[in-house]
């Protein structure tokens, strides 16, 4: 029995020493602060959806269609959206043209800032562009297109590529 008590005393002594040597769960701590920063600058991005006048036989009546642009600018950033004349020969912002696959036949069309199609959309800032203020989210801007009545050229596919530019 003395041997058992001796073993128990040794175990208690070792356990006590281990408790003293173990780090306390209430150890002291020290901290440091650091700054987290971000410098946002005025910025914008723009994307465009195609404008498709569909399939038609003759150009005896207005053909009106809509499309849209998506502009995302830093909140509070004032911006303008300009549309160029397109890629067809002799196209201007006042009289845009699509060129046929033969390279010479054209169809006139217009791009407008309003649903009534009375305000031409061009590329002179402050005159015929669309002005907005960025919200920090994507803003949809409608594009109103019209092919007016005109002499109908040869059948085929007519095309132009217009560049939309955001100025900020």
User: Tens of pLDDT along the chain (168 residues)?
Assistant: 445 444 444 444 444 544 445 555 778 999 999 999 999 999 999 999 999 999 999 999 999 999 999 999 999 999 999 999 999 999 999 999 999 999 999 999 999 999 999 999 999 999 999 999 999 999 999 999 999 999 999 999 999 999 999 999
Is position 17 within any domain?
A: no
Residue 141 is encoded by which pair of tokens? 């801007």
Its domain, for residue 131, covers 44-49+58-167
CATH number at residue 101: 2.60.40.1090
d(CA 46, CA 133): 14
Answer whether 106's CB lies under 8 Å from 148's CB.
no
Is position 3 within any domain?
A: no
Place of tokens 């911006």: 79
Is position 124 within any domain?
A: yes
Answer whether 148's CB lies under 8 Å from 93's CB.
no
Q: What is the pLDDT of residue 91?
A: 97
Place of tokens 């004032």: 78
Count CA atoms closer than 13 A to 73's CA, side-chain side: 23
Q: What is the pLDDT of residue 121?
A: 98
Query: Read out DSSP for 89-124?
Result: TT--SSSEEEEETTSS-EEEEEEESSTTS-SB--S-
Is position 113 within any domain?
A: yes
Number of domains in the chain: 1
Is position 142 within any domain?
A: yes
Q: What is the pLDDT of residue 4?
A: 47
Is position 161 within any domain?
A: yes
Is position 2 within any domain?
A: no
d(CA 102, CA 75): 46
The total number of residues written for the chain in this structure = 168
């Amino acid at each position: 029995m003395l041997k058992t008590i001796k073993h128990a005393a040794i175990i208690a002594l070792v356990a006590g020493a281990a408790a003293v040597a173990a780090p306390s769960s209430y150890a002291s701590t020290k901290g440091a602060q650091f700054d987290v920063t971000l410098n946002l600058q005025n910025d914008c991005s723009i994307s465009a959806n195609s404008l498709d006048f569909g399939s038609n036989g003759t150009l005896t009546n207005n053909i009106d269609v809509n499309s849209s642009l998506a502009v995302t600018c830093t909140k509070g950033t004032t911006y303008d959206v300009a549309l160029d004349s397109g890629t067809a020969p002799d196209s201007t912002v006042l009289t845009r043209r699509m060129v046929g696959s033969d390279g010479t036949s054209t169809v006139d069309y217009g791009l407008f800032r309003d649903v009534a199609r009375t305000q031409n959309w061009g590329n002179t800032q402050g005159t015929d562009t669309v002005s907005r203020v960025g919200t920090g989210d994507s803003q949809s801007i409608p594009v109103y297109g019209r092919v007016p009545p005109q002499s109908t050229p040869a059948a085929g596919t007519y095309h132009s590529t217009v560049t939309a530019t955001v100025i900020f």
